[in-house]
Each structure stands twice: as C-alpha cells, then as structure tokens.
Amino acid sequence: MESALPLFGAALGAGMFALAAGFGIGKIGSAAMDAIARQPEAAGKIQGAALVMAGLVEGAALFSFLIQLLIWTK
C-alpha cells in the first residue's frame, strides 16, 4: 500500500497555485482599472498589457496544475 502523502501534497499544491493565480489576476485587473481611471487615453495599451499578464499568470497556474496531476497519477 502506497503512502497518501504524495497525493495530499499534490492536492495542496494545486489548491495553493489556484488561489495564487486568482489573487494575481485580481491584482492585475485592479491595477489596470486604476491606471485606466488615471489615464483614459491609454486604455487600449493598458488593457492589452493586462490581458498578456493575466494570460502569463494563467499559463503558470495551468502548468503547475499539470505537474500536480502528473504527481497524482504516478
């Protein structure tokens, strides 16, 4: 019988990365809205940069989830 510790670690890691990604994307959105409120003429550039940053955060979260899934299925 195998230990449940790796499964617990994988589940805990996936949950932590999901929370971190949620907070990161929320912070990006909040900062983008503040910047657009200060400089409405730069809204297009700010929005584009925020979408790229959110995509990078989401990609990192997906990568970490896949690593956790590989650990869980091992």
Q: What is the mean pLDDT of residues 4-33?
A: 88
Tokens for 20?
């971190």
Q: State what percent of residues in the chain have pLDDT above 70.
A: 96
In this prediction, residue 42 has a pLDDT band, given cuts at 50, 70 and 90, of: very high
What is the pLDDT, as a whole number, of residue 65? 84
- How is domain 13-73 classified at the architecture level of CATH? Up-down Bundle (1.20)
pLDDT the model gives residue 67: 84
Stretch 45-68: mean pLDDT:
92
Spatial neighbors of 46 by CB under 8 A, at least 6 apart, are 32, 35, 36, 39
Section 52-65 average pLDDT:
91
Provide the pLDDT for residue 1: 47
